[in-house]
Amino acid sequence: MPKIRTPLFVTVDAVVFTARDNELKLLLIKRKEPPFEGTYALPCGFVNEQEELEDAVKRELAEETNVKDIFLKQFGVYGAVKRDPRGRIITAAYIALINADQQHLMPATDAAEARWFSIQDLPKLAFDHADIIADALKQLRYEIQTTNIAVQILPQKFTLSELQ
């Protein structure tokens, strides 16, 4: 007897950090549609059939938050069977560290709100986004130690304590 195949879908998630008021902040949206309507989540969405993953994450980020023209780096893939109540969905997660003062947040499409949250005081999150954020924080620490990613948010002159 042949097995019935479950449809498989692909999404992208954007984990966007900034430094503001001497603390690390994370960009979240409030979902306007089910599932998890009214709950905060990472900017995310489905990949179109003929769309590259990086193009999809940039599109979703721009549509849901108005954040554009930033460098995003893929850092993980998440595919737990029950990570999304809509079905079998695998997501590619991307990370960015930006200067929030150069972006004007404006929610649209399926986002009711877009705002920065202190990484120390995050609200209840949709899907498996808490796990994705935890992994992104580990990746961000690694990137700060091994690359020049931090220069995107620092002034031209900065102290070591500002970098830390």
Would you please indicate which residues are annotated as catalytic (active-site) residues?
113
List the structure tokens of 149.
């990613």
| Token pair recorded at residue 51 | 């769309």
Residue of 110, 120, 148 lying closest to 24 (CA atoms)? 120
In what helix (H) or strand (E) does residue 62 lie, and over which residues does it extend?
helix 53-65
Residue with tokens 């042949």: 2
